[in-house]
């Protein structure tokens, strides 16, 4: 995967660059918004990691210019701002995801790989082992058994399956399924994951949904 990092904080830029490089991804870095925009327009990238506060041209302006130029590369915004309004503004400006500083490199990697994977995968169904999620008809089956899911359960399962084999953090689930409306300490995720497991795993020989203690959840990439 080829990533463009537009970040003027040298420490943060190095942290992101080292994390992505260690995971086997190619990276280019710009510390200036104007130069970063030029790079995004000049060559193809699989992901752009874009800080909001930048010299030359701020991140929101860079993002809008990219979208105006029909550059649809997934964009992950980075910012020290944590207010919901700032996140909403970024997403409405064309960002695909938003990560608040400080962050763990593991979460950034999970978000980046998830965004790039969704961009590449245009399938109308997701499949993990014998579990299939039909995005068009909103149906879930495991083997030849149809599973009836509520709306939030379906969204949870979709998020896990799109990131199959990777850890999905609690904050990621809150943001993507509940749109930031719940406090991170709420047990709403645990309740819905428990219900989802009852339907997807309990009556089958091979459980698919795993708990990664202290971090979040993961759906197995392959069944045994």
Domain ranges of the chain: 2-120, 125-219
CATH 3.40.50.2300 matches 2-120: yes
Number of residues assigned to the chain = 224
> What average pLDDT does range 122-148 have in this prediction?
87
pLDDT cut 70: percent of the chain above it: 91
Name the more confident of 116 and 151.
Answer: 151
Is the bond preceding 69 in cis, omega lying within 30 degrees of 0?
no
Q: Which residue has the tokens 């860079």?
A: 62
Prediction pTM value: 0.55
Instruction: Tell me whether domains 2-120 and 125-219 share a fold.
Output: no
pLDDT greater at residue 213 or residue 221:
213
| Residue where the block lists tokens 């399938």 | 123
Secondary structure percentages of the chain, helix, strand, coil, to 5: 40, 20, 35
**Residue 214 DSSP code:** T
Q: What is the pLDDT averaged over residues 97-108? A: 90
CATH class of 125-219: mainly alpha
Q: What is the pLDDT of residues 152-208, one digit of tens each?
A: 999 899 989 888 888 888 888 887 787 655 565 678 888 999 999 999 999 898 899
Let me know: does 128 contact 164? Beta carbons within 8 Å: yes
Residue 79 and residue 58 in contact, taking contact as beta carbons nearer than 8 Å: no
Higher pLDDT, residue 3 or 221? 3
Distances (CA, A) of 26 to 2, 126, 164: 5, 27, 22
pLDDT of res. 117: 66
């Amino acid at each position: 995967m080829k990533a463009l990092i537009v970040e003027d904080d040298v420490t943060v830029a190095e942290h992101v660059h080292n994390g992505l490089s260690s995971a086997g991804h190619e990276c280019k870095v710009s510390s200036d918004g104007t130069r970063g925009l030029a790079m995004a327009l000049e060559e193809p990238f699989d992901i752009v990691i874009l800080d909001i506060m930048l010299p030359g041209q701020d991140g929101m302006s860079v993002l809008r210019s990219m979208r105006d130029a029909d550059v649809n590369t997934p964009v992950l915004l980075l910012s020290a701002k944590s207010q919901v309004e700032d996140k909403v503004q970024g997403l409405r400006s064309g960002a695909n995801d938003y990560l608040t500083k400080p962050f763990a490199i593991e979460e950034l990697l999970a978000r980046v790989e998830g965004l790039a994977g969704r961009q590449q995968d245009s399938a109308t169904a997701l499949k993990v082992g014998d579990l299939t999620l039909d995005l068009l008809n909103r149906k879930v089956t495991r083997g030849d058994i149809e599973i009836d899911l509520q709306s939030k359960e379906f969204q949870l399962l979709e998020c896990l399956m799109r990131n199959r084999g990777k850890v999905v953090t609690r904050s990621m689930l809150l943001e993507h399924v509940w749109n930031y409306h719940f406090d991170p300490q709420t047990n709403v995720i645990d309740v819905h994951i428990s219900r989802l497991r009852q339907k997807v795993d309990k009556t089958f020989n091979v459980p698919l949904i795993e708990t990664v203690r202290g971090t979040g959840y993961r759906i197995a990439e392959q069944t045994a």
